[in-house]
Structure 1
Amino acid sequence: MKPVIMAVAGGSASGKTTVVNEILAKLDLKSVAIIKHDDYYKAQHDMSLEERYRVNYDHPSSLDNDLLVSHIEALLRGESISKPIYDFETYDRSLQTEIVEPKKVIILEGILILTDERIRQLSDIKLFVELDDDTRFIRRLQRDIKERGRTVDSVIKQYLNTVKPMHHKYVKPTKRHADVIIPNDYNHGVAVDIIVSRIQKILEEN
């Protein structure tokens, strides 16, 4: 059976993971694999920490999409992959990897996941989660301080220098590639139900 590939895009801290979790709650968890685009940031072992700080992580060139595409194709062939793991505290790819087994449903999640045409073509369902800029910034500030060991000043600087301009240049325009756009400022249970139904229908057809 060919796996269902679902790509979930949207701005930083727009609520992509929340939407994915709502979808997963209505599916068989044992049959789902989640791949975060963040884990495919390019390795930067040869760079100093100061040099890593200056990398624009909101630009498509910061991601190793060639590796991701090869991994998606392997999963579609029924092969397991050795997925990289990104360390947000060191701004570098970890030396450890994670084995991901083929599943009936594979969810690709990331702000720039719809920028690559190859990934779009491999995806059966494409979602874009939308939320206003102010709310996203507040959520990002809270998350990066609590979960990623960042300071308030560093989060604000990164947001103004790269996150915000790159969102409008690269992330937001990918809405046009989405099959479904989900506004995340109110309940979106109906949209989730529609997506779950679509996934189930594709599985039955496969």
Structure 2
Amino acid sequence: MKSPHLLGIAGPSCSGKSTLARAVAAHYVALDPIVLPMDAYYRDLSGLSIEERAAVNFDSPEAFEHELLLGQVRDLAAHRPVSMPVYDFTTHTRAGTRPVHWTGRLLVVEGILTLHWPMLNALFDSRVYVDLDDATALARRIARDTRERGRTPESVAKQFQESVTPMADAHCRPSRAAAHRVLDGSGAPEALAGELRDWLAARI
């Protein structure tokens, strides 16, 4: 049986990574794709107070259990079962796990730091970076976090200025150099997905 194709999608906050990953998975449904969002691998902060959790820098590499992600990508690529974490963004805690026994041929990992760790990069057959300017990213993030994560616009803007942008400059944007393909995330999602599908067609 042919080995699964591993695709890593990285880029700054709200650049369209999740939408792109879902579009690729929908297009290659015959390959029984699976998408791993890096956000699921945030560290469980249940041992911290509410105030301490709010002070955590969620855009730093240290905020993620990247060793767990790395191990589960390896296991899934070998078609071994895993217990995938489920993260609760409203409480910044791990809500539990869900059993996954996947036997498909396309595995997609997406997140701000997907291309940050060399050991994870080494597993990917295709590495994609989705670029986006800060102004557009902030507008999208305010819309998303107020709608989906119970945040206020003020708290989102404060976090963006104090940690999101500095961490993107320090860790996310440098990972662009590891990408095989760089996409412009400011355009229509359909066009972005089409560009990636066309590029992947010769690689999968």
Q: Give the TM-score normalised by the residue count of structure 2.
A: 0.92
Q: For each residue in 1:105-141, what CA deviation from the matched residue of structure 2 results, as whole angstroms up to 9, or x when unmatched? A: 1100100111111110011110001121111100000
- Provide structure 1 residue ranges, at least 5 long, that are not aligned to the other structure: 201-206
Q: Which residue of 2 aligns with 1:65?
A: 66
What is the CA distance between 1:190 and its match in structure 2? Answer: 5.2
Which residue of structure 2 lines up, in the alignment, with residue 122 of structure 1? 123
How many angstroms apart in 2 are the aligned matches of 1:138 and 1:111?
17
Partner of 1:164: 165
- Conserved in 2, the CA contact under 8 Å of 1:9 and 1:112? yes
* Whole-angstrom CA distance in 2 between matches of 1:9 and 1:190: 17
Is the 8 Å Cα contact of residues 23 and 196 (structure 1) preserved in structure 2? no
| Stretch moving more, 53-62 or 178-187 | 178-187
Q: Is the 8 A contact 2:22 2:35 kept in 1?
A: no
- The alpha carbon displacement at 1:40 in A equals 0.6
* Distance in 2 of aligned mates of 1:87 and 1:160: 23
Judge which range, 15-24 or 61-70, deviates more.
15-24
The letter for the 2-side match of 1:124 is D
1:138 pairs with 2:139: yes
Q: Could you tell which deviates more after superposition, 119-128 or 189-198?
A: 189-198
Which is further off, 180-189 or 7-16?
180-189
Query: How far apart are residue 184 of structure 1 and its match?
Result: 1.9
Letter in 2 for 1:99: P
Task: Report the CA distance between 1:151 and its aligned residue.
Answer: 0.9
SS of aligned partner of 1:129: strand
Name the SS of the counterpart of 2:122 in structure 1.
Answer: helix
1:72–1:145 distance in 2 versus 1, CA, 3 Å: same
Give the corresponding residue for 2:56: 55
Aligned residue for 2:34?
A: 33
1:195 is matched with: 199
Select between 16-25 and 159-168 the one with higher mean Cα deviation.
16-25
1:199 is displaced (CA, Å) by 4.2
Give the letter aligned to residue 37 of structure 2: K
**Cα root mean square deviation, aligned:** 1.5
Asked whether the equivalents of residues 33 and 100 of structure 1 are also in contact (C-alpha less than 8 Å), the reply is: no
Listed as ranges, the gaps of 5+ residues in structure 2 are none
1:159-199: CA deviation from partner (whole Å, max 9, x where unpaired):
11100111111111110000000112233355223333034
Runs (4 or more) in structure 1 with deviation over 4 Å come to none
Write the deviation string for residues 28-74 of structure 1: whole angstroms up to 9, x where unpaired: 26610110111111111211111000000100011111111111111
Contact 1:26 1:196 in 2 (8 A): no
CA contact (8 A) 1:27 1:196 kept: no
Cα deviation 1:138-162 (Å, max 9, x = unaligned): 0000000000000112111111110
- Normalising by structure 1, we get a TM-score of 0.91
Instruction: Figure out how many residues of one structure are paired with residues of the other and give that number.
Output: 199
SS at match of 1:14: coil
Q: Which residue of 1 aligns with 2:181?
A: 180
Q: Report the residue type matching 2:98 in the other structure.
A: E
